Amino acid sequence: MAHVHFSSAQRRLTGGVADVKVEAETVRELLCRLETMFPGIRAHLDQTSASAVAIDGDIIPDATYEPVPPGAEIHFITPLAGG
């Protein structure tokens, strides 16, 4: 089970829930499960600036097809830019 953490802004879409444990093998599957739990959250995570995914601290842009290891810590954060 992946452990998904929500930022304070994202908690507006989870009814205040700060974290959940979800069974998923990929980020895409994870997003589907989250959408079932919190309707509307997938569009927020896909379309806002919070569209990169940190899997066990490794920040991955375009993570849709990334595998989610068992027990992974997941955060949805802004994609990084560099200068």
Partner 1 sequence: MKMVMTREEVFRATGPTPGSVIRVKLGATNDGRITAAEARLVYESGAFPGVWAMLGCMCVVSPYNVENFVIEGFEVVVNKPVNAAYRAPSAPMAAFATDTLTDEIARRLGMDPIDLRLLNCPGKGDVAPYGPKWPLIGLRDCLEAIRDSEHYRSEPAPGCGRGVASGFWFNIGEASSATVNLNENGTATVVTGSPDIGGSRASMALMAAEELGIDVHSIQPVVGDTEVVGFTDVTEGSRATFATGMAVVEACRDLKVQLRGRAARMWECDVDDVEWADGQATHSGGKHEPLALAAITAEAGRTGGPLGTTASLNARGAGPAFSVQVVDVSVDDETGRVTVERYTTAQDAGTAIHPDYVEGQMQGGVVQGIGWALNEEYIHDADGVMENPGFLDYRIPVASDLPMIETIIVEVPNPNHPYGVRGVGEVGIVPPLPALANAIHDATGARIRDLPMSPPRVLAAITSGNGDGG
Binding site for partner 1 (CB under 8 A): 5, 7, 49, 54, 56-61, 73, 75, 77-83
Sign (positive or negative) of CA dihedral 11, 17, 20, 22 = negative
Minimum separation from the CB atom of position 10 to partner 1 (A): 10
CB 22 within 8 A of CB 2: yes
The Cα 31–Cα 6 span in angstroms is 13
Partners of 67 in beta bridges: 26
Residue closer to partner 1, measured from CB, 40 or 57 = 57
Residue closer to partner 1, measured from CB, 5 or 39 = 5
Minimum separation from the CB atom of position 54 to partner 1 (A): 5
